[in-house]
Amino acid sequence: MIYLDYAATTPVHPRVLNAMLPYFAETFGNPSSVHRYGQQAEAAVDSARENVASVLNCRPDEIIFTSCGSESDNLALRGAAFAMRQKTGAKWILTSKAEHHAVSRTAEQLGKLYGFQVEWLELDEYGMVTPEAVEKAICGGTGLVSVMYANNEIGTINPIKAIAEVCHRQGVLFHTDAVQAAAYLPVDVQSLGVDLLSLGGHKFYGPKGVGALYVRKGTPLVPAQTGGGQEFGLRAGTQNVPYIVGFAEALRLTAEERGQRTAALKPLRDHIIGTLLEGIPDSRLSGHPESRLPNHASFAFKDVDGNLLLTLLDAAGFACSSGSACKTGNPEPSDVLSSLGLPREWALGSLRVTLGSSTTPAHIDAFLKVLPTLVEKVRAIHRR
């Protein structure tokens, strides 16, 4: 099998695994315990927090460890929405239909069950949220804006710094879901200017089941999970020490190797895009042609059943996705592609190809040799 679905998840880096192993059986204490076992575990969490803060260019006490990127998104949206309503009376949340469901469905629930007003931001033809769209939508009652750094499904990179500036001129909190972006884009929160930023470890060669939320000092946030006083009172629950250690090491390696990883994968990505658009009739690139993740190629093929195409690719030895991993198996067009205005006969034929640490030119050549034939096979079935 050739794995081409790194946007869904990545393998754990060997150095990350080695960093984690001692904390499963040797240094196994509860960080909240007073004795030496607990102190050793607490020191590991503190060190991990400092390492993450170093990469994000922030204070250690601005890092909240969570169970995943989705939990980080939930804590950011729920916590900030409730806090801003309590503080200023603001009840409007601005986000887009192109967001990960951890953001868009959380916003929907806040609207349906908790009395907030949700406005969906306009997207351009590439699925990008522009600063102008945010400026147009912000009103006096807006408490929170959430726009992802880079789209997991179509790869488009949003102008986060410029959007943050628009929000802050209006006194509005700004959150970005950087779960997909962190593997290849800088996450210096001072440069980006964000108030809240979500991360998930398994997108950049860390373990599944651990994430983080950056919360700028002074940002009001209501805890979504209460209990003990862990994570500065914002996220109760015994810290997952080995996973937190692994998360920090994975993020450190990502920052250290970002340049070489990008340089290795971007030419392969461009080769895929150029070859497929030229070689497959009725094909189009989804997402921005230039402002996109360096490892990310996504397409829409007219009159193609995307899930059938994935099944045939799997049988041929290639693991890809039809968009967000969360959408696989869903016969309806994804929210992202629908929000771009693609008609159903195009939106159902989506394919996402994402590259990573083990991808070689030979893998790409093999993939490009097989895909056109499989697309035509699926279209022949559609025509029957």
Catalytic annotation, residues: 326
Angle at 215 between CA 214 and CA 221, to 5 degrees: 135
CA distance 250 to 244: 10
CA distance 86 to 223: 13
CB 5 within 8 A of CB 357: no
The three-class DSSP label of residue 102 is helix
CA distance 192 to 168: 12
Q: Which two tokens stand for residue 124?
A: 């351009």
Number of H helices, E strands in the chain: 13, 12
Instruction: Give, in order, the Cα–Cα distances in Å from 330 to each of 12, 166, 321, 348, 349.
Output: 28, 36, 12, 10, 12
Question: What are the two backbone dihedrals, phi and then psi, of residue 11, each rounded to the nearest 5 degrees?
Answer: -70, 155
CA distance 274 to 22: 46
